[in-house]
Structure 1
Amino acid sequence: MFINCPFDVSYQPIFRAIVFAIYASGFRPRSAMELDDGGQTRIEKLYGLVEECRFGIHDLSRTELDRVHGLPRFNMPLELGLFLGAKRFGGPRQGVKRLLILDVERYRYQKFVSDLAGMDIHAHNGDALLALRETRDWLANVSRRQLPSGDRVARLYQAFAGDLPTLAADLEFDPENTPYVDFERMVVGWLLAAEATV
């Protein structure tokens, strides 16, 4: 499950909720943050992730101008384009790709990427729990698997978020600045423990 989203601090609650929803639904998130390899260019890393992932979540919510340069971020639309290009031109294996496109408002994309007209964009309104529910519901739809309900995944996430400071402290991490791979391990370990107590 390829995640294409902002990695800034203000987006972190949504990113973490999406990662949790993916794991809680029985899928594995993939992100450019998972591998720090100085011998690989970022675009090559993205090509590999796009090629390997059947599903993709693409959040286009960061379009505001950068305070320093006065320019918008184009990474998310670029990565969405790579995913759509792979789906369209990548042959039968890539043609089965499915994607969820998120934004803060459902039709806002028409103002900055009108070529997506006709595509079903989902809104999270900047709310982590809504992004979590959109992710879970979309996964249930495209996978046709029986997944835990959105209410259950949201409850689990809230419980995990409450436990996160202790989990991070036990590993001597700042809960707000835990490296991505360590955050993933905490999510997986917490979910396994939660399943064992049900």
Structure 2
Amino acid sequence: MPVVQTSTDDVFINCPFDDAFAPTFRALIFAILVCGFRTRSARELDDGGQTRIDKIFALIEQCRYGIHDLSRTELDAVNNLPRFNMPLELGLFLGAKRYGGQHQKVKRILILDVEQFRYQG
């Protein structure tokens, strides 16, 4: 398996993609682009032959930076379950940083949440 180097220009955005979060998503994209980086997210890929988790794996492998928004992990009103995908993608990014090769160990992460240090509890 070839070694994939992380791009020093790529920023993986892990956040909700619903209408309520759209203004924040656009602001993140704007800030990243203005700072000279390239945004990456699961929304950029449209390959029916690739599963969503494989898309996420590939993006995480390719990106040196990650912005992970955990502010929307509240319980869903319909099934009373939290949104697990954002914490899962953060875990995958942390796992790549911890257990990946030398190109993965240089990853840097920004975690956004509604309450400071909530996830460190």
TM-score tier after normalising by the smaller chain length: 0.7 to 0.9
Q: Please give the root-mean-square deviation of Cα atoms over the aligned residues, in Å.
A: 1.0
- Distance in 2, matches of 1:93 and 1:107, equals 28
Q: Quick one: which amino acid aligns to residue 40 of structure 2?
A: R
- Distance in 2, matches of 1:86 and 1:108, equals 22
- Which structure shows the higher strand fraction? 2
What residue in structure 2 maps to residue 107 of structure 1? Answer: 117
Between the two structures, name the one with larger relative contact order (CA 8 Å, sep ≥ 6).
2
Match status 1:33 vs 2:39: no
Secondary structure of the residue that 1:48 maps to in structure 2?
A: helix
Computing the radius of gyration from Cα coordinates, the structure with the larger value is: 1
1:133-157 Cα distance to aligned partner (Å, 9 max, x none): xxxxxxxxxxxxxxxxxxxxxxxxx
1:77-135 Cα distance to aligned partner (Å, 9 max, x none): 0000000000001011100000100012213334xxx3xxxxxxxxxxxxxxxxxxxxx
- Distance in 2, matches of 1:66 and 1:8, equals 14
Q: 5+ residue gaps in structure 1?
A: 115-198
In the comparison of the two structures, how many residue pairs are matched?
111
What residue in structure 1 maps to residue 18 of structure 2? Answer: 8
Q: Quick one: which amino acid aligns to residue 57 of structure 1?
A: I
- Which structure shows the higher helix fraction? 1
Match status 1:66 vs 2:66: no
What residue in structure 2 maps to residue 120 of structure 1? Answer: none
Match status 1:89 vs 2:74: no
